[in-house]
Amino acid sequence: MRHLFVTLLLTLLAMPALGASKNPEADLKRVQQRIQALQQSVRDDVGRQDQLSAKLRESEEQVGAARKRLAEVREKMDTSDARIRDLASQRADWERKQRAQRDELAAELRAAYVTGKEEHLKLLLSQKDPAALGRMLVYYSYFGRARAGRIAEIEEAVSQIEALTAQEQAERERLAALEQQRQQELAAVDAARAARAQALEALAGQIKSNKDSLARLKREAQALEKLIADLRKALARAPAPDGQPFARVKGKLPWPVAGRIVAGFGQSRGGGMKWSGVLIATERGSEVRAPYAGRVVYSDWLPGLGLLLIIDHGGGYMTLYGHNEQLYKAAGEAVAAGEVISTVGDSGGQARPELYLEVRKGTAAQDPRRWFRGSSP
């Protein structure tokens, strides 16, 4: 009997744990596919249910895309400008080298002129020691080769200066073209911002009273709650992330962006509604950094929160970042602690640049100030 019990125990220990997967990579791929399908479903729902919100989404995405292109052009311009400075510095070095070589050659030519053309003949007639005469002739051959080498160095310097000048000119032309492109992208940003303003005006016209405004807030809150619940279902079989459990870093996390908290967790939003996170006022375009490692499970537009990015940190924990201007990570991508994930904007119909930050355990929102170092960013 005891032998049977031991055999049964060993068999159970050898079996994989209940619910454990034999192929975590396949599970992760299936989870990513579910998240992508969910993300598309949310976009479709917004388009069907609220045409004005869909127009706002489109205009804000255009603003983000235009600013991204503008940032890329500016980066290229910085690179081009640095290249021009480097080429100019190299050209100046070669010009200094050329002047020094010319001065040395001029000194050698003056010395040869002072010696005179008949110096070799004088040496031949006046030297009594043949060995001394031989040495003098060898020295003169050295001087001749040195002058020839100096001339070759000067020719190389001239060639290098001409090549660097041509490269510098080409780079300046490229910079001028980039400046023109920058002006075009600035115009595109202005046009996208104008389209956004029109969409916001139309949206404001639809809200006729405080009651309508409250109803809209409730619909937006319900949309977020539904999204969180659907993400939980999609993540049910996701492999556990590596590293220290998220729960152990409570109170130790760095804030994702510097700024000032203008709405705190639990504060009233009116009509009995409260904030489920914090709202951080900061500069437009400020970089948002992931406070902890995880995997992006949502990266798209959502009514009320605009361009929203959600990171799953494992153990049922998520962090949410709303009102972004640009999203740098797509759903399914892994992020490291401190990695830039987005930039702050006013998407979602905000009047000023702000970052909305939430921490979730399951479907329950938690006060972010208890998770991050210090009472404010």
How close are the terminal C-alpha atoms of the chain, in Å? Answer: 65
As a 3-state breakdown, the chain gives helix, strand, coil percent values, each rounded to 5, of: 60, 20, 25
- Cα-based torsion angle of the residue sequence 76, 81, 82, 85 in order, rounded to the nearest 10 degrees: 160
More confident residue, 6 or 228: 228
Task: Kindly give the interhelix angle for 130-206 and 51-115, rounded to the nearest 10 degrees.
Answer: 160
- Mean per-residue pLDDT over the chain, rounded: 77
More confident residue, 190 or 133: 190
Residue 124 has pLDDT above 70, yes or no: no
User: Given this model, what pLDDT does residue 374 score?
Assistant: 84
CA distance linking residue 96 with residue 103, whole number of Å:
11
Taking every pair of Cα atoms in the chain, the longest distance, rounded to a whole number of angstroms, is 125
In this structure, what are the phi and psi dihedrals at residue 5, rounded to the nearest 5 degrees?
-65, -45
Confidence of residue 47 (pLDDT cuts 50, 70, 90): low
Residue 249 has pLDDT above 60, yes or no: yes
CA distance linking residue 174 with residue 277, whole number of Å:
47
Residue 5 has pLDDT above 70, yes or no: no
User: Given this model, what pLDDT does residue 6 score?
Assistant: 37
User: Given this model, what pLDDT does residue 12 score?
Assistant: 35
User: Given this model, what pLDDT does residue 2 score?
Assistant: 41
More confident residue, 140 or 248: 248
More confident residue, 302 or 31: 302
CA distance linking residue 353 with residue 343, whole number of Å:
10
User: Given this model, what pLDDT does residue 279 score?
Assistant: 96
User: Given this model, what pLDDT does residue 20 score?
Assistant: 46
Q: Which amino acid is at 5?
A: F
pTM of structure: 0.65
User: Given this model, what pLDDT does residue 361 score?
Assistant: 93
Confidence of residue 212 (pLDDT cuts 50, 70, 90): low
Confidence of residue 191 (pLDDT cuts 50, 70, 90): confident
Confidence of residue 115 (pLDDT cuts 50, 70, 90): low
Residue 255 has pLDDT above 60, yes or no: yes
The CA-based angle 172-175-176, given to 5 degrees, is 90
pLDDT (average), residues 232-239: 76
Kindly state the percentage of the chain with pLDDT values over 70: 70
Confidence of residue 16 (pLDDT cuts 50, 70, 90): very low
More confident residue, 201 or 230: 230
Residue 312 has pLDDT above 60, yes or no: yes
